[in-house]
Amino acid sequence: MKYVIQKLTSFVFTLLLISIITFFSLNILPGDSAVLILGTEGDPMQLDILREQLGVNQHPVLRYCKWLFHMIKGDLGVSVRYGVDVASLVLDALPVTLLLAIMAVGLALAISVPLGVSCAVKQGTLLESAGLIITELGMAIPAFWLGILLINLFSLKLNWLPPAGYTSIISLILPACALAIPRAAMLTRVVRSNMLAALQQNYMRTARSKGLPQKTILYKHALKNASITVCSVAGIHLTQLLGGTIVIEQVFSLPGVGQLLLNAVLHRDLPLVQGIVMIAACLILLVNLIFDLVLAVLDPRIRFE
């Protein structure tokens, strides 16, 4: 409980710090925020209405306290461009990004764990050399270029999967593959190196001397200890994807948070940008908290220390 309370306290203070940085970096800008949004050719009456809506005539600290109070209640303001609640816009786009991120990380783990274990077991063989070459290629290929190749092959030539847009989970297969392959290559390296370190430990020699099956030795003993680092790296990849998959969503025309954020920035929709940043930050911190608790379960040394 002490470990959990410490992590929850850190969660709250980090989110508060992010809210301060987000608000003041977007609102304490040189010039008039209303002119920044509507442009210098904007109608004077509309500029006055927008200034009143944004509260730019009030003290910045007072504006921040009001914004924070409304945000705690779930009110993130109204989008300047769309004219609807920011929270509803973000929550409509969030399932696409969330599902895409989970699919990409899950696929990356499904590829990297067996491949990394095989490379560690077959150290010095042709299989390991081929696996390392494949991982080098995977890490070198940009995700957006890989996405274009996947569209060309599976959509235009084979006509198996939709090239763009979002209608169902099938529409996320190609973008998830484009995001998963580079991450699977990196995770394969992590699994291989940690498996090699685990296989050289004394408890592995004890397990072999007891006559345990090779599969039990690899997956129950070695991989269990190697999974601590793998879980940490997978959590980092998931938080990166939750932070925004702007390029891939642009390539595949997905109505996700990344696409929404790009449109908000292009149209200078400051309330929408603030809302997206805060919801994404809250989600990322929540995922980090979950992974910290999972690591504490996997490695008792973390919670005891």
Q: What is the mean pLDDT of residues 30-50?
A: 64
According to the model, what pLDDT value does residue 42 have?
64
> What is the chain's mean pLDDT, rounded?
79
According to the model, what pLDDT value does residue 37 have?
63
Sequence-distant (≥ 6) Cβ neighbours of residue 13 within 8 angstroms: none
What digits encode the pLDDT tens for the residues 124-179? 778 778 878 888 888 888 888 888 888 888 888 888 888 888 888 888 888 888 88
Fold for the domain defined by 98-268: MetI-like fold (1.10.3720)
Q: What is the mean pLDDT of residues 95-104?
A: 88
Q: Which of 88, 237, 107, 90 is nearest to 172 (CA)?
A: 107
According to the model, what pLDDT value does residue 244 have?
61
What digits encode the pLDDT tens for the residues 42-72? 667 776 676 666 666 677 788 788 888 888 8
Sequence-distant (≥ 6) Cβ neighbours of residue 289 within 8 angstroms: 7, 8, 11
According to the model, what pLDDT value does residue 301 have?
66
According to the model, what pLDDT value does residue 55 have?
65
- DSSP secondary structure string, 202-242? HHHHHHHHTT--HHHIIIIIIHHHHHHHHHHHHHHHHHHHH
Q: How confident is the model at residue 82 (pLDDT cuts 50, 70, 90)?
A: confident
DSSP single-letter state for residue 124:
T
Q: What is the mean pLDDT of residues 26-42?
A: 62
Q: Which of 237, 282, 290 is nearest to 22 (CA)?
A: 282
According to the model, what pLDDT value does residue 302 have?
62
According to the model, what pLDDT value does residue 137 have?
82
Q: Would you call 31 exposed, middle or buried from its count of C-beta atoms within 10 A (0-12, 13-18, 19+)?
A: exposed
Question: What is the reported pTM?
Answer: 0.78
What digits encode the pLDDT tens for the residues 223-279? 777 777 777 788 778 877 776 677 888 888 888 888 888 888 877 777 888 888 888
